[in-house]
Amino acid sequence: MPYVKPIQTANRINFLASSKVQAFTYQVSDIGITADTNGKKVVKAGTFLPANDATAKGILYTDVDVTNGPQPGSLIVEAYVYEARLHTAPSTEAKAALTKITFR
């Protein structure tokens, strides 16, 4: 008898206003990330890293699973972004630090 496991899907809102995106590899930390109901620690796409303040270096491009420790992710450093579609509103300091990201 085969093992059958339900498939989970996730719906993510596209927060990019254009296909013009410049992104680089970035080590996503697992510190301070709480596990969900399935025991997974996932940093959502659209998260400001390393924090939503003046230290912001970019916006996470895709979800990153950090359940087993820090993992590499794609960090957007230049793009056009719909501010209202981000799961967390950018702080004034983060907007000032991210000079090559245009918020609409």
pLDDT tens sequence across 8-64: 777 788 999 999 999 999 999 999 999 998 899 999 999 999 999 999 999 999 999
With respect to residue 29, please indicate whether it lies within any of the assigned structural domains. Answer: yes
With respect to residue 40, please indicate whether it lies within any of the assigned structural domains. Answer: yes
The pLDDT of residue 85? 95
Please indicate whether residue 94 or residue 12 has the higher confidence score (pLDDT): 94
In a 13 Å sphere around the CA of 93, the CA atoms on its Cβ side amount to: 9
CATH at 81: 2.40.300
The alpha carbon of 37 is separated from its chain's Cα centroid by a whole number of angstroms, namely 19
Give the predicted TM-score (pTM) of the model: 0.88
Instruction: Specify the DSSP element, H or E, that contains 102.
Output: strand 101-103
With respect to residue 48, please indicate whether it lies within any of the assigned structural domains. Answer: yes
Residue 90 and residue 53: Cα distance in Å, rounded?
8
Count of structural domains, the chain: 1
With respect to residue 91, please indicate whether it lies within any of the assigned structural domains. Answer: yes
45: domain range? 22-103
With respect to residue 1, please indicate whether it lies within any of the assigned structural domains. Answer: no
With respect to residue 67, please indicate whether it lies within any of the assigned structural domains. Answer: yes
With respect to residue 84, please indicate whether it lies within any of the assigned structural domains. Answer: yes
pLDDT (average), residues 58-83:
97
